[in-house]
Structures are given as C-alpha cells and as structure tokens.
C-alpha cells in the first residue's frame, strides 16, 4: 500500500489517486469523532493494498456535518466549502493522476459529491465517487460500532446505549428540520448492542470487495 505523503515527487507514478473523505462529527458517546474518516481511510488503504496502480492521498477529515450541530466536537465546513475544496483538489490532482477516486465515509457528503463530480466530469476530469452501502442502522449503531471495533477496539467505549431506533424514513422530517438533536439525545440512530469486531470485519470486506469491483469497472470502461 502506497501513501502519497510518503513519496517524493520523482516517485509518483500511480494511475489512480484515492482520496479518503470523512468528517469530524459526533458518533454517540462510545465512538470517536473520526469514525467516518477512519472508515474511509481503511477502505482506501485496503484498495491500494490490492492494486499497485492506486496511491492514497492524505484523508480529508472535514465534511458537511451540519445535521450534527449541537453535539460537542462536531466540526462542519458545509456544502459550499466542501464543493469548492474538492473541485480545486481534483483539478490539481488531475495534473498528475489520470484518475481520481473519492472514497467517502460520511453520508452527509453525498449530495455535494454528486454535484461536484458532475461539474468536474463536464471539465473532462476523470473522477469517481464511491461510498459504502452498509446494511444495518444509520449512525453510530450496530453497523458503525462493529466496523470501528474491527479497526481499533481500543477506541470504542464500553457503554453502548441505543438511540433513536425508528426507521430513518420516519425520522427524516424531524431530522431535516432540527438535525439529530431533534430525534436523539445521545447522537445515535440505531442500537449498538450486539456489535462485534467479527461482524465489522465482514462488513469491511464486503465494502472493500464492492469498491474494488467498482474501480475495475470504471477503469475498464475508461480504457475501452
């Protein structure tokens, strides 16, 4: 696995630059603020370990996290700043790399990323955005807790209380109006009870396999 920050400019030869995108936001009382960034970093690293044509950029640990306002430690740069940052980053990156892959670990970034990538593709820049499609609850519940246990169990708290457990579709009107504070006191959407490192490893492997398949199809289409 090759990290861009470890190279000198004379050694940069990869076809694909993978940029992990995350957030610094609350993940309940038991998960670190870096959870989304940790996940994006791990998946980008895993892809680069499988593919020597991929080099991993330093992670971007800030995103659009306004829905988590009111929980201590959350740092959001908002949608407009995220869009501008990524447009300029990809424009610069494509001076060196033929392909730029944005590995996104934060759901709140998704809407911005779609518009950003469309704009960049209109400029004939070959950029792809990918996000894991987890099966399970939405935020800091069993799914993310299991994944973080697999990555670093020492950073997961022992007290894992459930938060709002209604279906996300039922919570969405209140979420849109008042953010997570409107629906959960502890910042959790789901129930981390029963989370395990074994389940997390399975989820990470499934996501990594999907990421690799997506990249293969992307690069194959580009070379056709």
The pLDDT of residue 70 = 93
Nearest to 54 by CA among 107, 122, 128, 125: 128
Radius of gyration (Cα) for the chain, nearest Å?
A: 18
Q: Which domain holds residue 14?
A: 2-223
Ranges in the chain, pLDDT < 70: 223-224
**Which pLDDT score, from 0 to 100, does residue 168 have?**
85
Segment 74-99, tens digit of pLDDT: 999 999 999 999 999 999 999 999 99
SS3 111: helix
Q: What pLDDT does residue 169 have?
A: 87
Q: What is the pLDDT of residue 11?
A: 96
Question: Are 131 and 211 a contacting pair, CB within 8 Å?
Answer: no
The domain that holds 32 is classified in CATH as 3.40.50.10310
* pTM for the model: 0.96
Angstrom distances, CA of residue 190 to CA of 136, 145, 166, 167, 182: 8, 10, 8, 9, 15
How many domains does the structure of the chain reveal?
1
pLDDT at residue 33 in the model: 98
């Amino acid at each position: 696995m090759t990290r861009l920050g470890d190279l000198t400019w004379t050694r940069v030869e990869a076809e694909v630059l993978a940029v992990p995108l995350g957030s610094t936001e609350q993940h309940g009382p038991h998960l670190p603020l870096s959870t989304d960034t940790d996940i994006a970093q791990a998946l980008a690293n895993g892809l680069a370990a499988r593919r020597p044509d991929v080099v991993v950029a330093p992670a971007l640990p800030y995103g659009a996290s306004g829905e988590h306002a009111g929980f201590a430690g959350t740092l959001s740069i908002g949608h407009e700043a995220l869009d501008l940052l990524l447009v300029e980053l990809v424009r610069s990156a494509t001076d060196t790399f033929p392909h730029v892959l944005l590995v996104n670990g934060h759901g709140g970034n998704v809407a911005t990323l779609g518009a950003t990538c469309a704009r960049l593709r209109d400029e004939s820049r070959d950029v792809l955005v990918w996000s894991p499609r987890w099966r399970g609850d939405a935020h800091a519940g069993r799914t993310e807790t299991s994944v973080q246990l697999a990555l670093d169990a020492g950073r997961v708290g022992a007290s894992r209380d459930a938060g709002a457990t209604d279906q996300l579709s039922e919570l969405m009107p209140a979420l849109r109006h008042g953010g997570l504070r409107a629906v959960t006191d502890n910042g959790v959407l789901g129930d981390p009870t029963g989370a395990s490192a074994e389940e997390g490893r399975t989820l990470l492997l499934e996501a990594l396999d999907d990421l690799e398949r997506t990249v293969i199809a992307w690069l194959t289409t580009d070379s056709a």
